[in-house]
Amino acid sequence: MPKLTRDQILAVADIKTEEVQVPEWGGSVFVRGLTGAQRDKFEMKVVEHRGTKQIWHRENIRARIIVMSVVDDKGELLFSEKDIKAVSEKAAGALERIFNVAQRLSGLSKQDVEELAKN
Cα(68)–Cα(75) distance, rounded to whole angstroms?
Answer: 11
Q: What percent of the chain has pLDDT over 90?
A: 71
Encode pLDDT of 19-32 as tens digits: 999 999 999 999 99
Which residues touch 52 (CB under 8 Å, ≥6 apart)? none
Long-range contacts (CB closer than 8 Å, 24 or more residues apart) made by 85-90:
85/60, 87/60, 87/63, 88/59, 88/60, 88/62, 88/63, 90/24, 90/25
C-alpha 83/C-alpha 36 separation (Å) is 22
Mean pLDDT, rounded, for 94-111: 90
Give me the mean pLDDT over the 90-115 stretch: 86
Mean pLDDT along residues 88-116: 86
- Strand 27-32, strand 47-50: pairing: unpaired
Please work out, in degrees rounded to the nearest 5, the angle formed at the alpha carbon of residue 70 by the alpha carbons of 68 and 76. 85
Structure confidence by residue, pLDDT tens digits, 38-75:
998 888 888 777 788 777 777 899 999 999 999 999 99
* pLDDT of 70: 98
